Homo-oligomer: A and B are copies of this chain.
Amino acid sequence: LAYTPGIAEVAKLIQTDESAMFTYTFRRNNLAVISDGSAVLGLGNIGHKAGYPIMEGKAMLFKRFGGINAIPIVIKTQESDQFVHVVEQIADSFAAINLEDIGAPRCFEIEAKLKQSLDIPLMHDDQHGTAIVILAAVLNALKLQPKQGLATRFVISGAGAAGVAITRILLHHGFKNILVADSTGIIHRQRTHLGVVKQQLTDSTNPGQFRGSLKQALTNADVFIGVSTGNLLTTADIKRMNPDSIVIAMANPDPEILPHEAKKGGAAIVATGRSDVPNQVNNALAFPGVFRGAIDARSQITENMKLAASQAIIDYHQRNLAVDALLPKVMDEKVHHFIANRVQAAANSKD
């Protein structure tokens, strides 16, 4: 039996050097996909048990594209501090943690606390996986259809997990003219009843402090990014944008506007979350490589590693970029290795 006494030697080694866990045990390649089932894409707060199959599907993608042994873990409580506590208590069993399908604004607080208390790679994929792929899609679209550089005017529909993370990564890249609208309308400094996270957006977005509806925000916009609800916009709304606009409509299963309607409204480039039309934007393009790279570097996931992942997607796709081929295919296994290597290099660089 491979049990005793050989295994006792590894235990003693870890007692004197904890990092030996990452050399001599399965921990080095085990990742937990953790959720409370509070915001399951397209289904809402369905609870942790019903959320389980989504975590399982995600685990399969981790294995297939990242070579990572991913284990679905659903947690019963939807109380944030308790959730954080449970994750902290089991974290030493894993090399990394992918938080999944946790509702906003709880997801921001939970991720921030866990990044403070844990030293392993941890990421809420609904935020950052999405943001990484969207940034790559935006930068590729702007290669094909250049706008106003860093002054390019963005309108983001949705201020949940994905909307906030997309806004933050666009800001981190250097874009300066971003309007975010939630179901109430454009977010600005005079809006009342804003939570902490939306409040923060009032300082970093909407430099002209516009007020009004999402549709009003679209006037003279260059890029629309929707992470909100289906069938929100019409051809007439897209016509209000600048000519040859870029429309990324991610609502699931029905996008904010269908591609052919957006094109009728003058959009030059359209992308959605759907696999049955060109230009699918799918966070599965990012998370396997990001975690593979971070696990191999034994590093937390930093802002620079996320930007490196976006840039890796762009560089990998350089020769194949086209209006109807904005991003590499998720099923292309090589892209994940390419991203992983770049993310690992970014983790190891001093910047």
A210 to B60, CA, bound (A): 61
Which residues in window 1-36 of A have CB below 8 A to B?
A: 1-5, 7-8, 10-12, 14-15, 18, 21, 24-27, 30
A53 at the interface (CB under 8 A from B): yes
Query: Across the interface, which residues of B come within 8 angstroms of A284, CB to CB?
Result: 1, 3
Query: B89 and A76: CB pair below 8 A?
Result: yes
Q: Bits for A25-62, please: 1 = Cβ < 8 Å to B, else 0.
A: 11100100000000011110011111111101111110
A71 at the interface (CB under 8 A from B): yes
Query: B56 and A11: CB pair below 8 A?
Result: no
A207 at the interface (CB under 8 A from B): no
Q: How many copies does the complex hold?
A: 2
A77 at the interface (CB under 8 A from B): yes
Query: Across the interface, which residues of B come within 8 angstroms of A47, CB to CB?
Result: 15
* Contact with A53, one of B10, B59, B61, B91 (Cβ below 8 angstroms): B10
A20 to B336, CA, bound (A): 33
A contact set with B: CB distance below 8 Å: 1-5, 7-8, 10-12, 14-15, 18, 21, 24-27, 30, 40-43, 46-54, 56-61, 71-77, 82, 85-86, 88-93, 252-253, 275, 282, 284, 330-331
A47 to B13, CA, bound (A): 12
Specify which of A4, A15, A252 lies most central, judged by the most chain B CB atoms within 10 Å of its CB.
A4
